[in-house]
Structure 1
Amino acid sequence: MKTTIETQQIIQAPISKVWQILTRFEDYPKWSQFIKEFYGNPTVGSRIGVLLSPPGGKSMKMNPVFLKIDKERELRWRGSLIVKGIFDGEHYFILQKINENSTKLIQGENFSGILVPLLKKMIMGSTLKGFEQFNQAIKERAEQGL
């Protein structure tokens, strides 16, 4: 079983500023309520630790592998719950330049595995809401020039 969620946010800031905020992982605890922390040094092929805290849900630690880090374009990682095939997610951020001072942020995740049907309510509820909160937090941070 598979399902995908995707969110979009228009940010009135240059793509370079949005990318800087998105990839300064050590600052996440200061502003992100959804992705609380990163542990490790994110490089393509590296496994890192991520602490997620979806709104109204339980915090969970994942250990995804970075698949893509394409400066000012795309950030992508894939993680699994316990073992591959149970509940897997490929998380992505895509940045699109609208003009010199505007950026479209797309955040999504492709879920697969045997638990997807049982967890669909969580995916479409607290996980989706967490994505929206994260997008809004990046927007506020970028537009305030932080």
Structure 2
Amino acid sequence: MRVVETNVKISAPVSLVWDVLVSFDRYVEWNPFMVKAAGRAKPGERLAITLRQSGARAMSFKPKVLVADPGRHLRWIGRLLVPGIFDGMHEFILTETGRGTSFDHKETFSGVLPALMGSKLDSTALGFEQFNQALKDRAESLHSATS
């Protein structure tokens, strides 16, 4: 099992950060990592996500939403072919702070392939950091425009 975890502090209310996070159809406007997304943040729903990591070709998958607790927690699982080959449990955890939102972005990889991939999953952290910074920029910009 491999875990990639990142965090960013966002100077915007948790409700606004959540709205930006789950407006999947708008990802194309701001998200350099998940460049295309569609679907609804509701347990049991399937999303359509296209990732583009630096130096790699785009990859599309259809994860299943497991948790969608507005303003707090979004979790989905994506799989390659069948369970146990390459599974990714993706999580976003939002925590209200005195100055805005603490945003945790995490993925737990399990299965046969992640164990064999070694450092190839390390670039995922860079993608998460790019996602986090873009989310921060988007949310803070929207917050400034409405304040």
Where on the TM-score scale, by shorter chain, does this alignment land: which range?
A: over 0.9
Q: Verify the 8 A CA contact 1:93 1:107 in the aligned structure 2.
A: yes
**Match of residue 109 from structure 1:** 107
| Aligned CA-pair RMSD | 1.3
Matched, 1:143 2:145: no
**Match of residue 74 from structure 2:** 75
Q: Which amino acid aligns with 1:5?
A: V
Matched, 1:64 2:63: yes
In structure 2, distance between residues paired with 1:83 and 1:109: 18
User: What's the offset of the Cα at 1:107?
Assistant: 0.2
Which sections of structure 1, spanning at least 5 residues, go unmatched? none
**Match of residue 26 from structure 1:** 25
Q: How does 1:8-19 map to 2 (within 5 A)?
A: 8-19=7-18
Q: Which amino acid aligns with 2:5?
A: E
State TM-score, norm by structure 2.
0.92
- Structure 1, 79-88 or 131-140: larger mean CA deviation: 79-88
- Matching residue within 123, 127, 131 for 1:130: 127
In structure 1, distance between residues paired with 2:120 and 2:74: 23
After TM superposition, which residue ranges in structure 1, 4 or more long, deviate above 4 angstroms? none
**Match of residue 89 from structure 1:** 88
User: What's the offset of the Cα at 1:118?
Assistant: 2.4
Q: Secondary structure at the match of 1:16?
A: helix
- Structure 1, 49-58 or 76-85: larger mean CA deviation: 49-58
Q: Secondary structure at the match of 1:144?
A: helix
Which sections of structure 2, spanning at least 5 residues, go unmatched? none
In structure 1, distance between residues paired with 2:58 and 2:79: 15
Q: Which amino acid aligns with 2:115?
A: P
Q: Secondary structure at the match of 1:46?
A: coil
User: What's the offset of the Cα at 1:62?
Assistant: 0.9
Which has a greater percent of helix? Answer: 2
State TM-score, norm by structure 1.
0.92
Q: Verify the 8 A CA contact 1:35 1:51 in the aligned structure 2.
A: yes
1:52–1:73 distance in 2 versus 1, CA, 3 Å: same
Matched, 1:38 2:37: yes
- Give per-residue Cα distances to partners, 1:76-122, cap 9 Å, x unaligned: 000111221111000000000112x4110000001000011222322
